[in-house]
Chain A
Amino acid sequence: AQSVTQPDIHITVSEGASLELRCNYSYGATPYLFWYVQSPGQGLQLLLKYFSGDTLVQGIKGFEAEFKRSQSSFNLRKPSVHWSDAAEYFCAVGARSASKIIFGSGTRLSIRP
């Protein structure tokens, strides 16, 4: 069965601190992996995606994520968070073709001044 697990419902970090948001997936085929961000009252914006090749992918706003096949993980990282990073973050998985994208339940990030 296809699924995405984000074990952390809510994380609070201090401004300037590093960040890692966890994501584990279960997928029968080779997955496409995504991280999206949602600001309050808004739709989702793509941060980064992984299809193949280098397992460390760079995204917008200084985010990066590392694909680890052995751990079925795709964790999102940022070396130094800014107050504007406070938002909901969703990990997602899909197939290598036009198909549905499955989202995790999200991790809400709060930034401590």
Chain B
Amino acid sequence: NAGVMQNPRHLVRRRGQEARLRCSPMKGHSHVYWYRQLPEEGLKFMVYLQKENIIDESGMPKERFSAEFPKEGPSILRIQQVVRGDSAAYFCASSPPSTNEKLFFGSGTQLSVL
């Protein structure tokens, strides 16, 4: 039973490019959470999604960032026109339907913006 899979593990982008981060939740999980971890800081909540729905995006920057969790396929966190300040580790977590009693985390994607 595979855990939460995130890819790529490392992503390097130049300023102005787009970054796409993928997250495949655990089998049977329909809830996905995205968090950002800046160096020497904790995890900052970004967005909480269910299949085809954004439930809470209160932590998402107003511009350039978007997330989706389609009916089929992984959840995608998309960052347009990346800037150096976007460099961080992005973690995805999943949970079963209707509960957040335990989040299962992926190993993260380290985004580096040159």
Contacts and interface: CB of A to CB of B under 8 A. Distances in A.
Query: A and B: partners?
Result: yes
Interface of A: 6, 32, 36, 41-46, 49, 51, 90, 94-95, 97-106
B45 A100 contact: yes
Given A32-B101, A43-B4, A101 B107 contact: no
A104 B9 CA distance: 24
A45 B102 CA distance: 9
A103 B103 contact: no
Contacts of A49: 101-102
Interface stretch (B14-22, B35-43, B61-69, B73-81): B35-43
B100 A105 contact: no
B103 A101 contact: yes
Contacts of A99: 48, 56, 100
A27 to B, nearest CB: 14
A45 B105 contact: yes
Interface residues of B, number: 28
B56 A100 contact: yes
B93 to A, nearest CB: 8
Given A43-B4, A43-B91, A98-B95, A106 B101 contact: no
Interface of B: 4, 31, 33, 35, 41-45, 48, 55-56, 58-59, 91, 93, 95, 97-103, 105-108
Contact of B45 (A51, A95, A103, A106): A103
A105 B44 CA distance: 9
30 contacts: A6-B42, A36-B105, A43-B4, A43-B93, A43-B107, A44-B91, A44-B93, A44-B105, A46-B103, A51-B101, A90-B43, A94-B100, A97-B98, A97-B100, A98-B98, A98-B100, A99-B48, A99-B100, A100-B56, A100-B59, A101-B100, A101-B103, A102-B45, A103-B35, A103-B43, A103-B44, A103-B45, A105-B42, A106-B41, A106-B43
Contact of A42 (B43, B48, B102, B107): B107
Contacts of B59: 100
